[in-house]
Amino acid sequence: MLLYLDLNCFNRPFDDQSQVRVANETQAVFSILERIENGTDQLTWSAVLSFKNSQHPLADRRDEIARWKRLASSNLNVTVAVVERAQELVDAGFQALDSAHLACAEAAGCDRFVTCDDRLLRKAGRVQLAVDVLNPIHYVEVFSNE
């Protein structure tokens, strides 16, 4: 399975784990990352992920997240087609960076886009996308036996 993980998935382990939802999403993210490490799933990285991660104010977290780029099976640059698709998604009501991530995932031919962002999940359910958008918990529940 070719996956695109929203940056919030990589950041989830650094969040306050006292909240049940956060802790459960963190465990799901770790499961997904393990599947990537063992080759069950493949990770797509993008210039958008690198850009957004470079904006993180904490260098240790930024560096830890950036290490995942080395395990990516593909690294997508932003092309004219990606920019055009991202603009279509902005016009459909998505935030600019969310649109850029989704456009990259679609351009890379990803099977799934994994995010912890409820607003993005809701909007994705109302718009025609070439990639399925799932919460990490849902992804693990559905695909953990594959």
- CA dist 101 → 12, 18, 25, 83, 112 (Å): 17, 29, 20, 10, 12
Q: Residue 145 has what pLDDT?
A: 74
Q: Is 43 helix (H, G, I), strand (E, B) or coil?
A: strand
pLDDT tens-digit map of 91-127: 999 999 999 999 999 999 999 999 999 999 999 999 9
Q: Residue 146 has what pLDDT?
A: 65
CA proximity to 112, closest of 31, 2, 12: 2
Partners of 44 in beta bridges: 74
Q: Residue 56 has what pLDDT?
A: 93
pLDDT tens-digit map of 9-65: 999 999 999 999 999 999 999 999 999 999 999 999 999 999 999 999 999 999 999
Task: State how many domains the chain has.
Answer: 1
* Integer Cα distance of 45 and 61 in angstroms: 17
Count other Cβ atoms within 10 Å, centred on residue 68. 18
For residue 103, give its domain range.
2-143
* Integer Cα distance of 73 and 97 in angstroms: 22
- CATH number, domain at 77? 3.40.50.1010
Angle at 115 between CA 16 and CA 60, to 5 degrees: 50
The encoded tokens of residue 90 equal 């902005």
